[in-house]
Each structure stands twice: as structure tokens, then as C-alpha cells.
Amino acid sequence: MSEQTQDIARARAGQGRASRFRARCAGAALKVADFILPPLCLVCRGSVQGYGGLCARCWSGVDFIEPPRCDRLGIPLPFPSDELVVSASALADPPVYDRARAVARYDGVMRELIHALKYGDRHEGVALFARWMVHAGADVIEGADIIVPVPLARLRLWSRRFNQAALLARAIGKAASIPDRPFALKRIRRTPSQVGLSARQRRRNVAGAFRVPECWIRDVADRNVLIIDDVITTGATANACARTLKRAGAARVDVLALARVVDPLTPRL
């Protein structure tokens, strides 16, 4: 073995020892943190096993959307099917986007989690939410070329200091090894909050609100784009984003959200 090779081998062994030492230190630090700040449930603040998790009671309060679901809207269907099924709502009023998927219904515990993320600056759940979204959106993630979060208006971003959709997009991109492009969609005008608006008012509110900046068109054209949002309410925002991306040349536009408002008349399984 040459002297240089021996040097490299010695250096590698040293690095291995250093990284094992760092791992032991991190483990010890976590044990100390557990003692000082024991992990708490994201919702009820009861004690749980690990950081950024839910207790069993709160977990059972999340209304997960499981198959069978409409292949276009991602809403649950009342009957089992081995084939891809499109709901009557999607046939009557087809969305601009290709497919939407969401982890759970926007009610109960999920609504509390999203409110805490958006308005309470509580980001410790992002890793868990990203894991849920990667699972619920496995079929839309497969084949996606880029991930684009729904952008916030500059003023809202300034007052809230972060965009919850961008936080989720970054975590999902990392987990699924897909590049996230937080600037590929831009909100070009301020839109009043959608809360309390009817479906038609929401559609009008966000029409023409987005643009793909010139410098990002090359990243979007002929690509399969996956839009990330926290909640799909009527789908007006997702449709406005999808329309903008398709006009910029996107081949396919799917949407993945943490929660979706589901018509209360849609039966629970």
C-alpha cells in the first residue's frame, strides 16, 4: 500500500470515528432534551413517544381519505372498485388539474393541525405531514418532475413570515427526491381571503392571480408538475394555478394537499 493510500485510509478511519462520536453526542443531546422538554402531542399536548407526533386519541381523530377515491378529485367514493373511477362531481364539472390527492378530510383534528401550522407558527409537525402526503400522494408523486407550492401574496408572506405550502413542498421534495421550485409560480395580485366565499366567488377571486415568471418557463414547459397546498376547499386556487402552469406549457398538473373539504353528503366508509 502506498504512503498516500495509507494516509487516505487513516483519514477515512478518523472520519468514521468522528461521525460515530457525533452520532453518540446527538443521541445524548436528544435524551437530555427529552428530559427537559418531553415530546408532546401536536394537538392536545399530552405526552407522546417522539417529537412531532400525535397521541393515539388525536391520531384516531384524523379522518384519513383512503381508497376507493375519485381519480380526478381525490374525494372518497362510497363503493369499492378495483379500477380507476371518476366521480359524478368530476364528470359534471371537470377540474383544470389532472388529479388531486389529500391526506384527510378538512375537519376535526386535521383542521386544528392546519390552523396551528398556518396561524400558530407551529412547524414541528411538518415532517409528519410530509410523510403523510408522500403516502397519500404516491401515485401523483410518481412521474412528477418538479414540485411547486401554491404561492402566498407578498404582503401575506410578510405578515405570516412563511408560506406553509412551501414548507410542505420542501419536505416532500426532499423525501421523494424531486426538485421543488418555490418561485415557478408567482401571485401577481393580492386576493382577499377565500374564507366565507362561495365557490363562484372563490373562482372569480383567484382568476388571473398567478403567473409563471419568464425565467421559470423552461423549468415548467413539457414537465409533469405537482402543486402542493395545505387545503383544497373548492379547488378554485388549485384550478387557477393549474391553468397558469398549463398555459406555460406544463404537460401534466397534479395537486397534493394535506386536507380537502369533502361534501358532508359523501358517505364515510
The C-alpha cell of 119 is what?
396561524
Of the candidates 218, 194, 196, 213, which has an alpha carbon nearest to the alpha carbon of residue 204? Answer: 194
Least distance from Zn ion to the Cβ atom of residue 61, Å: 8
Asked whether position 153 contacts Zn ion by CB under 5 A, the answer is no
Q: Look at residues 236, 244, 242 and name the one whose alpha carbon lies nearest to residue 260.
A: 236
> Between residues 41 and 127, which has the closer beta carbon with respect to Zn ion?
41
Q: Which stretch binds Zn ion (CB under 5 A): 46-54, 161-169, 201-209, 227-235?
A: 46-54
Binding segment toward Zn ion, per CB under 5 A, in 56-64, 85-93, 148-156, 244-252? 56-64
Nearest-approach distance from CB 109 to Zn ion, in angstroms: 8
Q: Which is nearer to Zn ion, 126 or 175 (CB)?
A: 126
Query: In the 8-state DSSP scheme, what is residue 214?
Result: G
Binding of Zn ion at residue 103 (CB under 5 A)? no
Please identify, using beta-carbon distances, which residue of 44 and 261 lies nearer to Zn ion: 44
Task: Choose the stretch contacting Zn ion; rule: CB under 5 A; options: 44-52, 60-68, 202-210, 247-255.
Answer: 44-52
62 belongs to the binding site for Zn ion (CB under 5 A): no
Q: Report in angstroms the alpha-carbon separations of 228 from 14, 67, 134, 173.
A: 43, 20, 11, 10
DSSP 68-94: SBBTTT--B-SS--SS-B--HHHHHS-
Q: How far is the CB of 60 from Zn ion (least distance, A)?
A: 10
Distance CA 97, CA 137 (A): 15
Regarding beta strands 224-232 and 146-149, do their DSSP bridges make them parallel or antiparallel, or are they unpaired? Answer: parallel
Q: How far is the CB of 230 from Zn ion (least distance, A)?
A: 20
* Nearest CB to Zn ion, comparing residues 42 and 248: 42
Residue selected from 9, 17, 33, 43 as contacting Zn ion according to rule CB under 5 A: 43
Any contact of residue 41 with Zn ion (CB under 5 A)?
Answer: yes
Query: Residue 227's beta-bridge partner residues?
Result: 148, 255
Residue with cell 410518481: 142
Which residue's CB is nearer to Zn ion, number 54 or number 147?
54
Cα dihedral angle (257, 230, 201, 185), rounded to 10 degrees? -90
Measured CA to CA, the distance from residue 234 to residue 232 in angstroms comes to: 6
Output the smallest distance, CB 268 to Zn ion, in A: 22
Supply 137's cell numbers: 400522494
Whole-angstrom Cα distance, residue 245 to residue 253?
7
Strands 210-211 and 186-187: antiparallel
Q: Out of 40, 44, 127, 157, point to the residue binding Zn ion (CB under 5 A).
A: 44
Q: How far is the CB of 130 from Zn ion (least distance, A)?
A: 20
Sole binder of Zn ion in the list 2, 3, 18, 55 (CB under 5 A)? 55
- Contacts to Zn ion by CB under 5 A: 41, 43-44, 46, 55, 58
